[in-house]
Structure 1
Amino acid sequence: MNSESDAHVIARLTGQILPALPLSATDDSTVDLSSLSGRSVVYAYPRTAEPGVPSPEGWDEIPGAKGCTPQSCSFRDHAAELRTVGVMSLFGLSSQTTEYQKEAAERLHLPFPLLSDADHRFKEAMAMPDFEASGMRLFKRLTMVIDDGKITKVFYPVDDPAADAENVLKWCGENRNG
């Protein structure tokens, strides 16, 4: 993806008010991101792999596809620090089902829920970038900082998934809400 389209995605999403759409979460709750008060961080990722199950054909050659587990672990490891800079809610988001995501959330010991957009309603309502692999429609990796239901900052593309949480933490520390 070239920098022109990267800039277009960032410009289009920044300032958007989120739609009122309930998303299933791995903690058995339903989350409507538009109704959350304060600052939230949502990182969208393509998919987590199942242990012992091979990735789709050609997965490693798809730019930005690899790195979902390091990205989730990075947010897990920085979750407490994110709270200290005003992040009240933290979520991962993918188009995988909640049942599928629960395995990853438990295996990775995530202290925050993963949200499912398996029906693609959120992705389509926001016109978020996606791609197809092995018949699956998947999010391109990006991270949103949301203040009271409105996107304040978009990190896209996320070229180093393992460093995503640190970059978000730094930005949130320098741009405190309220």
Structure 2
Amino acid sequence: MTAVLDRAEVLSRAWAAAATVVDPELPMLTLVDLGVLRDVTIDEDGGVVAAITPTYSGCPAMATMRDDLMRTLRDAGFPGARVRVALHPAWTTDWITPAGRAALASAGISPPGSAPVRTGPVPLQLTPTRRAVRCPRCGTDDVGLTSEFGSTACKAMYQCRGCGEPFDHVKEI
């Protein structure tokens, strides 16, 4: 019984440590808020294994997320901690928590709406994607797309026609 309790305590401590790691591109979000931290387990040898899912294929922040997560777990007393990449199911912006969405808006970044439901291949689209976007500063939906790519590839740049502020919008995936 003690081994089970010890294992549960180790797992709880590992989750608590992993939950503090922030996204390098959106530092107002933890990996939990972003929905990237999928699981923390203990392997058959008693080592901690954290699973993360990339926001999209080729995300340049993945290596930093992995390194930050490993460093945090090791600093928390888990020297053999490992990070595994889980590709299935694919990440979606629907996994961003309500607290994460509120943190984005508070930081002046428009949070994503609901992710599109797709069955089958993604169609080629040469025109800008239509999105329901609100200005995170004044709340109006009277906004204009400035660029399909904002400060990172996963964000689009908009400008509010009401208050004039430019802002990023996290693209729905």
TM-score, normalised with respect to structure 2: 0.27
1 or 2, which has the higher helix percentage?
A: 1
Q: Bigger radius of gyration, 1 or 2?
A: 2
Q: Identify which of structures 1 and 2 has the higher relative contact order when contacts are C-alpha pairs closer than 8 Å and 6+ apart.
A: 1
1 or 2, which has the higher strand percentage?
A: 1
